[in-house]
Amino acid sequence: MNAPVPSILAHLGVAPLPYPMDIAPGRSLTLPRVSFVIPTLNEAKNLPWLLPRIPNWAYEIIIVDGRSTDDTVAVARRMRDVKVVMEPRRGKGAALRAGFRAAAGDIIVMIDADGSMIPEESLTFVSALIAGADLVKGSRFIQGAGTDDMSLFRMLGNWGLTQTVRLLYGGVFSDLCYGYMAFWTKHVVTLDCDCDGFEIETLINVRALKNHLNIVEVASFEAPRISGRSNLRAIPDGWRVLKTILRERVLSPVSLVSYGYP
C-alpha cells in the first residue's frame, strides 16, 4: 500500500531527481505517509465512485464501518486494498476516533463516503501540511469553493455557529461544520476527541484553535450525496455543536503540542 516516491512526484508534476534531494548536510526530504479515514454506514452504492478516486499515493485506506446492513465492507474490499475497522458504537465521531487509533500514517485525511467530497482535492490538503500547517480544513465559502448540497436553513445555522467560534476563540474560520480535514497524526493526542456524533468536526476545530495549531483553510467543493440519505439532523446536531463550542470554551485544558512537519 506504500506508494513509491517516484509515483507521488509524478502525480505532483515533479520529475524525480537521480539522487536524494539534500535539504541539510546528511539529510534528505522524505515524503509523509497518508492515511485516509472513511467512516461508513450503508454506503455500498457510493464506494464504487469514491474508492477508485482515492489517490494511488495513499499509504492506507481505513474503512470504519458502523454496523452497516448492506454490502459496504464487501464492496470496499473488492474496490481497493483497505483496512477495515468494525466500530460497534453509532455516530460519526465514534467511527472517526476508531479510525484515528488505527492509522499508521504520518498524516490523517478525513473524508466522507457519500460522494460529497472530491478525493482529488486531498492533494491540496496534504501539500499545505507539508508546507508547514498543523491542520488543514476544507471550506465551502472561500474563493474557488462551493456547495450543491446545503439548504438555506443549514447554511444559516453553519454561519451562526462559525461566527460564535470566531467570537469566543478568535479564529477566522469561514466554514465550521465541514468534515473534510487533514492533520498530522501526532496531533491525535492533542485533539483528544471524546465525542461520538457529528460535533466531532467542531471539536477538532476549536481544540486546534485553543492549542494554537497552525490552521489553514483550503477551497473545497461539496457535491450532492450520490445515494442514500444523510444521517445529519440539522436541529439536534446543531444543538450538540453549540454545546460543544460553549463547553470547550470553559472546561477543556490546553495541551502541550509540537508543531509543523515531524
pLDDT at 6: 52
For 212-237, the pLDDT digits (tens) are 999 999 999 999 989 766 666 666 76
Mean pLDDT over each residue of the chain, to the nearest integer: 86
For 43-85, the pLDDT digits (tens) are 999 999 999 999 999 999 999 999 899 999 999 999 999 999 9
In this structure, the dihedral spanned by the alpha carbons of residues 117, 120, 125 and 129, taken in order and rounded to 10 degrees, is 150
pLDDT classification of 241: cutoffs 50, 70, 90: confident
Question: Angle formed by the axes of helices 200-210 and 152-169, to 10°?
Answer: 20
Question: Angle formed by the axes of helices 200-210 and 234-250, to 10°?
Answer: 20
pLDDT at 246: 87
pLDDT at 250: 78
**High-pLDDT (> 90) share of the chain, %:** 60
- C-alpha distances in Å from residue 236, one per residue of 60, 116, 152, 199: 34, 22, 17, 11
pLDDT at 11: 55
Question: Looking at 119-128, 179-188, 242-251, which range is the least confident one?
Answer: 242-251
Tell which residue, 170, 66, 30, 50, has the closest CA to residue 112: 50
Tell which residue, 69, 57, 64, 58, has the closest CA to residue 38: 64
Mean of pLDDT values over 95-119: 96
pLDDT classification of 253: cutoffs 50, 70, 90: low
User: Burial letters for 169-192: b for 16+ Cβ neighbours within 10 Å, e otherwise?
Assistant: bebebbbbbbbbbbbbbebeebbe
pLDDT at 196: 84
Beta carbons of 37 and 109 less than 8 angstroms apart: yes
For 129-178, the pLDDT digits (tens) are 999 999 999 999 999 999 997 788 888 888 988 899 988 988 889 999 89
| Residue the block writes with cell 450503508 | 42
100 burial class (0-12, 13-18, 19+ CB within 10 angstroms)? buried
- What is the pairing mode between strands 34-40 and 181-184? unpaired
pLDDT classification of 20: cutoffs 50, 70, 90: very low
